Structure 1
Amino acid sequence: MKKSMGQYFRMRQELAEEGMDFLFKTPVTEDVNSIIYEGEVDEEDYITWRPVEKTTSHDIKQLEENLEVVFHKSIIEYFNSYWFADLDGFINDFYIKLEGVLPNFEFDSFRKTLEGYKSNHNNRLENIPIGIEGNGLLVVIDNLNGKVKLEDFERNSFEVISESIEVLVSKLRLKR
């Protein structure tokens, strides 16, 4: 996972250096540990961020116990690879935006998303929401086999878009 994410962030940095510097701008969140922030806040209340490789693992057993689920190992690896504000791009014709992992907030947003998802899915977490697709479909990870799917809740349908979150991240591309 770290290798795929590292490659993704290098690609993002190359594009930023070519003039797409907005790729590393994010609204300031006061409670976020400043380890990912660089420089000063601009006039639009945005700040430059950089991905930071994690050197310690965060235990998510408490989250698993609270939600009565055991996460697929790829989900644990995703949240324990890097701190970052944005991870998005295109795969095939889909625009995908994945859950950010912010210092001090590693699981806050994720927990809230999981609670809502679980209550809307008969109190079950067979799939784990990890992001959103450009047309509003949920990006989910099959909690049994790790495949990444797009979920259309209204139609109760799923479409596999990647064999794993690692493969998905390695194939994401940003458009110039």
Structure 2
Amino acid sequence: MNQYFLLRKSLAEGGLDFLFKTPFDEDVESLIYYGKVDENDYISWRPVEKKEIYDFSSLEEKLGIRMHVSVIEYFNSYWFADLDGFITDHYIKLESVQQTTDIESYFNLLVGYKHNHDNKLEHIPIGIEGNGLIVVVDNQNGLVKLEDFERKSFEVISEGIKQLIVTLRLQK
């Protein structure tokens, strides 16, 4: 993820400063925010390596699953507002990890996903694609896929979360 954030920073310094701007949310602790809120209610942010680790064991117990280790590593790496980009022709936006985004809100997302998938969590949602497809991680092998819920189909887009992140392009 560090490589991704360095690329994002380089592009931001080259004139694409919106890459480190996010809508200001007064409920988010200011650890990732810096500077002042602008006239459009946006504020600058920076990724911060996490020192506080989420314990997923109670969430896994409630859901009756073991989550793929890559999902747990993703949520325990950095605090950040945005992680997005392009892979092939798809715009991907992954879940942000902010201090107020706690494990319970992610649990609620997983419960809803499980409910819509015959009470199974064979895949773990981690983001959204620009046309409404769901970015999921195969809970058995860690492959990252795009899920078309209506067609009940999956397209593999990466060997794993790490590979996806280093492959993302920030410009089309």
Pairwise TM-score range, normalised by the shorter structure = over 0.9
Is contact 2:54-2:103 (8 Å) kept?
no
Q: 1:103 aligns with which of 99, 104, 114?
A: 99
Tell me: CA distance 1:22–1:109, structure 2 relative to 1, closer, same or farther (3 Å): farther
3-state DSSP class of the match of 1:35?
coil
Q: C-alpha separation between the residues in 2 aligned to 1:50 and 1:102? A: 11
3-state DSSP class of the match of 2:31?
helix
Partner of 2:142: 146
Identity of aligned residues (%): 65
Is contact 1:101-1:107 (8 Å) kept?
no
Q: C-alpha separation between the residues in 2 aligned to 1:128 and 1:159? A: 14
In structure 2, list runs of 5 or more residues that go unmatched: none
Q: 1:27 aligns with which of 14, 18, 23?
A: 23
Partner of 2:79: 83
Is contact 1:79-1:106 (8 Å) kept?
no
Deviation digits for residues 104-129 of structure 1, max 9, x if unmatched?
31434422321211110011110000
Query: Larger deviation: 68-77 or 104-113?
Result: 104-113
Q: Which has the higher contact order (CA 8 A, sep 6+)?
A: 1
Deviation of 1:30 after TM superposition, in Å, equals 1.6
Q: TM-score, normalised by structure 2?
A: 0.96
Is contact 2:127-2:136 (8 Å) kept?
yes
Q: C-alpha separation between the residues in 1 aligned to 2:2 and 2:104? A: 24
Partner of 1:66: 62
Aligned residues: 172
Partner of 1:128: 124
In structure 1, list runs of 5 or more residues that go unmatched: none
Runs of 4+ in 1 over 4 A off after TM superposition: none
Deviation digits for residues 126-163 of structure 1, max 9, x if unmatched?
00000011111000000010000000011100010001
Q: Is 2:18 the partner of 1:49?
A: no
